[in-house]
Amino acid sequence: MISIQVIFWLLVVIFAIIGAVRGWASEVLVTFCSILGIFLLFILDNFSGFASESPLFTNPVSHYWLQTIVFIGLVFLGYQAPNLPALSGHVRFFNVTLIDHLAGLAMGAINGFFIFGSLWFFMDAAGYPVSIITPPEAGTEIGDAAINLLAYLPPHWLVSPAIYFSAALALALVLVVFL
């Protein structure tokens, strides 16, 4: 059996490599969409009104699937955005220098951290509802390290007021890059 923490860091490295291939401009859109996803889920959780009494919000497993589907949907749109006809010919998507690829590597690693860190956080909050994934074992060195890492995952620290500033900063970054 392999630790969830090891899988997490492997996925971050894989997404860093993908980011290096895709380039930094494409990865900025994914970063924006992942922050937008966390922002939208924060708004749904805190300001859903009467809907907060529905099973989608009260049942941890249903809430996990709602969070996962909304978040993955937005991240998917972020990965598909450079293929839209309005953006496909944009000069920012041409990666010709080493700096473009190195910046893409860094942005890809950030995106991997945001994406898989958020999915892990949602899974932990729901009590690991996916049967093939077990929670980290407290009392073991690797299990304690994984449990400690949960405090650094994006949905843990992107709460009010940080999520508002992060969403505004991400939007400003996208506007500056593409206008």
Range of the domain at 68: 27-84+109-178
Q: What is the C-alpha to C-alpha distance for residues 58 and 26, in angstroms, rounded to an integer?
A: 36
Q: What share of the chain in percent tops pLDDT 90?
A: 68
- Mean pLDDT, residues 131-150: 94
Does residue 173 lie within any of the structural domains?
Answer: yes
In a domain, 129, yes or no: yes
Q: Read off the amino acid at residue 17.
A: I
Domain count, the chain: 1
d(CA 117, CA 36): 15
Residue 7 lies in a domain: no
Mean pLDDT on 63-68: 96
Q: Does 153 map to a domain? A: yes
Would you state the pLDDT for residue 25?
84
C-alpha to C-alpha distance for 31 and 103, rounded to whole angstroms: 13
Q: How confident is the model over 93-137, as pLDDT tens digits?
A: 666 788 988 999 999 999 999 999 999 999 999 999 998 999 999
Q: Is residue 14 situated within a structural domain? A: no
User: What confidence tier does 83 reach under pLDDT thresholds 50, 70, 90?
Assistant: low
> Distance between CA 177 and CA 32 in Å, rounded?
12
- 96 found inside a domain: no
